[in-house]
Amino acid sequence: MRLKVLIVDDEALARSRLRTLLGDCTEPGASVEGEADNAAQAMAHVQHHQVDVVLVDIHMPGADGLTLARALQALPDPPAVVFVTAYAEHAVQAFELEAADYLTKPVRLARLQASLQKIERLRQYKRRPEADLAEEVMVIQERGRTERVPVSAVLYLKAELKYITVRTAARTYLLEASLNELEEKYKPRFLRIHRNALIARGAVRALEKHHDPQEGEGWAVRLHGIDELLLVSRRQLAGVREVMAG
């Protein structure tokens, strides 16, 4: 099935370029169902036509693209929103609005194709049974880049000064947040093992004795996917053993 796309941009040349790029996209293919040069036209189109994806510029006369995205969110079956803009400073706001992607101009064909593939995967995911839909993400911004990291991929969260180290099997991220707030937000996915660390309950591979230069003899856990050892405080040891037994 080809994705039905609405292009929203106040510049005709920009709309024309996106139309050309969409025509070159495959797997999934895309068909341009309409164009709009402002948010009001776009909203009217979506309310009367089936649209899977809205490619929208942020800076437009009248209501901007962020305002349009909020209005689309309120629809019973909202289309995926991809921001296409010459400016990068709104990336965090875009992802907080649950945008599917954020493309900067000039858009490259490969990047647009990847965005459509991502949207198609999300569409397939939403067709799965309701019990599988409870995926949550952490929005992480570092070094001028914003990423949506699935909480299910996180192996541990560790407090380091004013930042939280977010560790997946693939890489490490830094998140400015409170460990206590994250523990409360993502219960019961994570288990407290130390005053400065939470681990994914399903990631525990082994519990073993360990000598730490600062804390002396004690215990540590190994998690699936990484070799790193994480210290377990005496206070939290019973909880880790309970998870291991379960």
CATH number at residue 167: 2.40.50.1020
pLDDT at 128: 56
pLDDT at 125: 57
- The alpha carbon of 157 is separated from its chain's Cα centroid by a whole number of angstroms, namely 17
Bond into 28 cis (ω within 30): yes
Total domains, the chain: 2
Q: Give whole-number Cα distances, 188 to 151, 184, 191, 202, 242, in Å.
A: 12, 8, 7, 11, 14
pLDDT at 34: 96
Task: Give the integer Cα–Cα distance in Å for 176 and 164.
Answer: 6
Residues 102, 21 share a domain: yes
pLDDT at 190: 93
Q: Is residue 137 part of a domain?
A: no
Record the tokens describing residue 127, joined without a space.
Answer: 């067709």
Residues 235, 181 share a domain: yes
Task: Give the integer Cα–Cα distance in Å for 216 and 212.
Answer: 5
Q: Is residue 207 part of a domain?
A: yes
pTM over 0.75: no
Contact between residue 134 and residue 115 where contact means Cβ atoms under 8 Å apart: no
pLDDT in tens, the chain (246 residues): 789 999 999 999 999 999 999 999 988 889 999 999 999 999 999 999 999 999 999 999 999 999 999 999 888 889 999 999 887 777 667 767 778 888 989 999 999 998 898 888 777 756 655 444 446 888 898 777 788 899 989 999 999 888 999 999 889 999 988 999 999 888 888 999 999 999 998 888 889 998 888 778 899 999 988 889 999 999 999 989 888 775
Task: Give the integer Cα–Cα distance in Å for 197 and 156.
Answer: 7
Contact between residue 92 and residue 175 where contact means Cβ atoms under 8 Å apart: no
Task: Give the integer Cα–Cα distance in Å for 93 and 120.
Answer: 23
Q: Is residue 132 part of a domain?
A: no
**Helix (H, G, I), strand (E, B), or coil: what is residue 43?**
helix
pLDDT at 130: 45
